[in-house]
Amino acid sequence: MTDADFKFPPIYNFPPFYTKQPNETTWQSQSQQWIGLVLDYCKQKRIWVLNSDGVPLSKNDSELDSDEEVDSLSLFANEKIQRSLKRETIGEIYAQMVTEGSAEYLSPVSTSLSRSLKKATPQDQSIIVYWRKPEDWATMLLEWVEKTGQLGGILTLYELQASESVKSQPFYKINSTVLVRALDVLVKMGRAQVLKEEGGKISGVKIV
- In percent, how much of the chain has pLDDT > 70? 83
134-207 adopts what CATH topology? Arc Repressor Mutant, subunit A (1.10.10)
Average pLDDT value for the chain: 87
Domain 10-129 class in CATH: mainly alpha
Start-end of H helices in 2-86: 24-45
What is the average per-residue pLDDT within 179-206? 92
Residue extents of the structural domains in the chain: 10-129, 134-207
> Which pTM does this prediction carry?
0.84
Asked whether residue 151 carries a pLDDT value surpassing 80, the answer given is yes
Helix (H, G, I), strand (E, B) or coil at 117: coil
What is the average per-residue pLDDT within 127-138? 97
**1 and 77 Cβ atoms separated by less than 8 Å:** yes
Which residue would you say has higher pLDDT here, 112 or 86? Answer: 86
Asked whether residue 23 carries a pLDDT value surpassing 50, the answer given is yes
Asked whether residue 44 carries a pLDDT value surpassing 60, the answer given is yes
CATH topology identical between 10-129 and 134-207? yes
**114 and 177 Cβ atoms separated by less than 8 Å:** no
